[in-house]
Amino acid sequence: MDESRPIFVQIAEQVENDIIGGLMAEESQVPSTNEFAAFYRINPATALKGVNLLVDDGVLYKKRGIGMFVAGGAKARLIAKRRDRFSAEFLAPLLAEAEKLGVTPQQLKSMIDKEGTK
């Protein structure tokens, strides 16, 4: 766990990653909050908060008396959301560091091409 951010946000992101990565299939049941709490060694109320965040976002839905399930179409929506943030979260710092080191956009581009063929 990363100390700088709320744990419930990190739990929600972990579940999102599992959905994007295909570990949790759409319409499949996700672990209960108590199982999350035991696995990550966190307070169950914190786990519940993380799960509720995903319910509010429509990523998970509740089936009364049964548990939590991954919503249909959740994977595509999550990927779209992450793509929107990709530029700000990954490209901006990359460009800032490149500029600091005097790496031109052209050089950067060829570096990306080179890494991509590895």
Write out the residues near other proteins by the rule CB under 8 A: 1-8, 34, 37-38, 40-46, 49, 93, 96
Q: Which is nearer to other proteins, 46 or 78 (CB)?
A: 46
Q: Which is nearer to other proteins, 1 or 25 (CB)?
A: 1
Q: Confirm if 26 and 74 have CB atoms less than 8 A apart.
A: yes
- Least distance in Å: CB of 113 to other proteins? 27
Q: Which is nearer to other proteins, 5 or 62 (CB)?
A: 5
- Least distance in Å: CB of 84 to other proteins? 15
Nearest residue to 19 via CA among 66, 50, 68, 60: 60
Q: Confirm if 100 and 89 have CB atoms less than 8 A apart.
A: no
- Least distance in Å: CB of 94 to other proteins? 13
Nearest residue to 14 via CA among 41, 40, 46, 38: 40
Nearest residue to 70 via CA among 108, 102, 35, 26: 26
Q: Which is nearer to other proteins, 68 or 74 (CB)?
A: 68
70, β-bridge pairs: 60
- Least distance in Å: CB of 38 to other proteins? 6
